[in-house]
Amino acid sequence: MPDPLLTMLSALQHADTMFPNGAVSFSWGLEALCNRGIVAGRDDLAEFLLTQIEGRWADLDRPVVAHALAAGKDLDRLAVLDALVDAQSLGAELRLGSTRMGLALLNVHRRLKTPLAAEYRQLVQDGFGFGHIAVVQGMLWGQLGFDAAQAQVMSAHGLCTGILGAAVRLSVIGHMDAQAIHAWLLPRIEEVLRQPLCPPEALHSFTPQIEIASMNHETDEMRLFVN
């Protein structure tokens, strides 16, 4: 049985924003909404993050992480999940952001010699997968010995800290507000984590304002982030 303390330390390492997974380059639609004055302060940002959690992560990224972890070494099953995520990612910028993060994470773990990283990276290169971040996270974290509950918490933590970090760099909020928003979100994330996982065939998301803003992002004159 894995040592709980060592498992916790490893989870902190792999879910930390310092882990080189490419997340620092992405705002997940936040920059576009800031550019348009839709997200302009603490309350707006809290609503944006809650929309990400409830509108996309709860019924798409979260179950995908768990199902990818459960797939184990079944690359065909992982590729099917990857295709389902791609079908649910309508906006090109958010879709490409997800795959770029996934490929960055695969490359890091290939160098770290994490099982399946090299194999799945080759599968994506050969055109049989997309490398969406939720699929890659679930697959790799499972190979590192995390269970489904731990992987879901790590996924939520990475999403929140990544977006909050982007908001600080965009000067929407300061560090104290970021911590206050994060603390406010925790009970809401807990509610989602207690809900049953939807099956792969029921994966879905609904964040139209964020997706439309991200589509417009490529035409913005001032851009700090990829999406």
Would 222 be classed as within a structural domain? Answer: no
- Supply the angle between the helices 148-169 and 4-15 in degrees, to the nearest 10: 30
pLDDT at position 22, please? Answer: 76
Would 202 be classed as within a structural domain? Answer: yes
Contacts of residue 108, Cβ cutoff 8 Å, sequence gap at least 6 = 19, 20, 21
pLDDT at position 24, please? Answer: 82
DSSP state of 22: S
Q: How many domains does the chain have?
A: 1
Tens of pLDDT along the chain (227 residues) come to: 578 899 999 999 999 888 888 778 889 999 999 999 999 999 999 999 999 999 999 999 999 999 999 999 999 999 999 999 999 998 888 899 999 999 999 999 999 999 999 999 999 999 999 999 999 999 999 999 999 999 999 999 999 999 999 999 999 999 999 999 999 999 999 999 999 999 999 999 999 999 998 888 878 777 878 77
Using a 10 angstrom Cβ sphere, with 0-12 exposed, 13-18 middle and 19 or more buried, the burial of residue 208 is exposed
Would 129 be classed as within a structural domain? Answer: yes
Would 17 be classed as within a structural domain? Answer: no
| pTM, full prediction | 0.95
Would 130 be classed as within a structural domain? Answer: yes
Rg (CA), the chain: 17
Nearest C-alpha neighbor of 95 from the set 29, 168, 22: 29
Would 103 be classed as within a structural domain? Answer: yes
Would 10 be classed as within a structural domain? Answer: no
CATH at residue 199: 1.10.4190.10
What's the domain range around 157?
26-217
Q: Measured between alpha carbons, how far is 136 from 69 in angstroms, rounded to an integer? A: 9
pLDDT at position 1, please? Answer: 52
**DSSP track, 102-147:** HHHHHHHHHHTT-TTHHHHHHHHHTTS----HHHHHHHHHHHTT--
Contact between 117 and 106 under an 8 Å Cβ cutoff? The reply is: yes
Would 111 be classed as within a structural domain? Answer: yes
